[in-house]
Amino acid sequence: MSTLAEPLEQLDDRANRGQVSLAGATRRELAAALAGAGVPEREIRMRVAQLWHWIYHAGATSFEPMANVSKVLRAALAEHFTLARPKIVAEQISRDGTRKWLLRLDPTGAQDKGAEVECVYIPESDRGTLCVSSQVGCTLSCGFCRTGTQKLVRNLTAREIICQVLIARERLGDFPGTLPPDDGLVPGEGLRAVSNIVFMGMGEPLYNFANVRDAVAVISDGDGLALSKRRITVSTAGVVPRMEELGRETGAMLAISLHAVRDELRDKLVPLNKKYPINDLLAACWAYPGASNARRITFEYVMLKDINDSPADARELVRLLKGIPAKINLIPFNPWPGAPYECSDWGRIEKFSGIVFDAGYASPVRTPRGRDILAACGQLKSETEKLRARARLAVHEG
């Protein structure tokens, strides 16, 4: 059940050299670390609670400020561990205020220079949504998605997923004593800068189930990052056998990347459909634990010109979803270099949206955000040499 990405012997060795970071640690990981640093069994629960508070509420990046932890223990911890987070290698800010961070993860071994992932912040007047990645690259190869052109490198650990939230909160002034950046947009007064999390960045979250589950647990824990589960959405291309477990074990909101209403077309757009066709996928949605009219499942539908955007497609969509507590999110296709598709015309999108709306569904067309910095849905990729040369706006060594 351990979610540590590496075997324990290797971890011990790195811990001996003081290189293991506890930023983003689950309670279980912290307890194991404390035991390893010689903390007596009877103290561990209390120490875990203290450290969690510093890490998740205060945003601590070192053991130094932990005034309620004895000096001796702080020194012992610092000898074995750090609270370092992945580094921000590049930060880009869109004209519309969307921010994209490229993060360099810690190397997992001698051969690894440190994989990179992207993570995107989308501010709106009433919320701030952080779009997190769950894998470096992806295995799904959906032809309209840029991440799909990048092979899977590896799964992110729960710590690496959670660190994306810590990094965003620090950068956006969401921790006590930190300020929002001068050049930044954040939601209105009194709101947390990061109020919502969507697992819609790079990767397929349900192919990294245990780590996503552990990350959701820390993000939603009242003593952790304390975001309501209603504000955490996990998006899947349709890994049917994991869906029930996701609902039962995390209580997160569900989004489905549907994109087509016939298997023949969906097989092409989302090749995973060959394994789990539309009927099986919808059956799993019917059975999703906790779905109700107050907790609807979001169906994402990318609008591809002359491919899936006809009025007949819209009518079939409505028919398929009948009886499922659903919201439909129409996503204008976001272009990327070399993409083999185009975005549907606005008239076509409006017509489609009208049919869905008349059938009684909220059918917001998602306003493309951050397109100018390739931060919109489906534009993420960690191939970055060019990006780094062109757009390095800020480098944080901390």
**Rule CB under 6 A: which residues touch ligand SAH?**
142, 144-145, 200, 204, 235-237, 257, 300, 302, 331, 333-334, 377-378
Instruction: Dig out the tokens for 31 from the structure.
Output: 């307890």
Q: Identify the CA nearest to 170 among candidates 58, 95, 19, 64.
A: 58
- Which residues are designated catalytic? 118, 377
Query: How far, rounded to the nearest angstrom, does the alpha carbon of residue 320 sit from its chain's CA centroid?
Result: 28
Q: How far is the CB of 276 from ligand SAH (least distance, A)?
A: 12
- Which residue, chain included where needed, has tokens 């059940």? 1
Q: How many CB atoms lie within 10 A of CB 323?
A: 9
Q: Give CA–CA dist 339/341, Å, rounded.
A: 6
Angle, vertex CA 293, rays to CA 288 and CA 294, nearest 5: 95
With a CB cutoff of 8 Å and minimum separation 6, the contacts of 163 are 23, 24, 85, 86, 103
Query: How far, rounded to the nearest angstrom, does the alpha carbon of residue 47 sit from its chain's CA centroid?
Result: 29
Nearer to ligand SAH, 40 or 337 (CB): 337
With a CB cutoff of 8 Å and minimum separation 6, the contacts of 84 are 21, 23, 61, 106
Nearer to ligand SAH, 261 or 302 (CB): 302
Nearer to ligand SAH, 167 or 377 (CB): 377
Q: How far is the CB of 277 from ligand SAH (least distance, A)?
A: 16
Instruction: Report CA Rg, the chain.
Output: 21
Nearer to ligand SAH, 130 or 237 (CB): 237
- Do the bridges between strand 20-21 and strand 81-82 make them parallel or antiparallel, or are there none, so unpaired? parallel
Q: How far is the CB of 191 from ligand SAH (least distance, A)?
A: 24
Burial of 376 from C-beta contacts in 10 A (0-12 / 13-18 / 19+): buried
Nearest residue by C-beta to ligand SAH?
378
Q: How far is the CB of 141 from ligand SAH (least distance, A)?
A: 11
Q: Give CA–CA dist 212/103, Å, rounded.
A: 18
Q: How far is the CB of 130 from ligand SAH (least distance, A)?
A: 13
With a CB cutoff of 8 Å and minimum separation 6, the contacts of 322 are none
In degrees and rounded to multiples of 5, residue 214 shows phi and psi of: -65, -35
Nearer to ligand SAH, 34 or 254 (CB): 254
Nearer to ligand SAH, 183 or 342 (CB): 342
27-36 vs 44-52: helix crossing angle, rounded to 10: 120
Nearer to ligand SAH, 288 or 333 (CB): 333
Q: How far is the CB of 377 from ligand SAH (least distance, A)?
A: 3
Q: How far is the CB of 334 from ligand SAH (least distance, A)?
A: 4
Q: Which DSSP string corresponds to 190-228? A: TS-S--EEEE-SSS-GGGGHHHHHHHHHHHH-TTTT---
Nearer to ligand SAH, 163 or 302 (CB): 302
Q: How far is the CB of 341 from ligand SAH (least distance, A)?
A: 7
Burial of 6 from C-beta contacts in 10 A (0-12 / 13-18 / 19+): middle
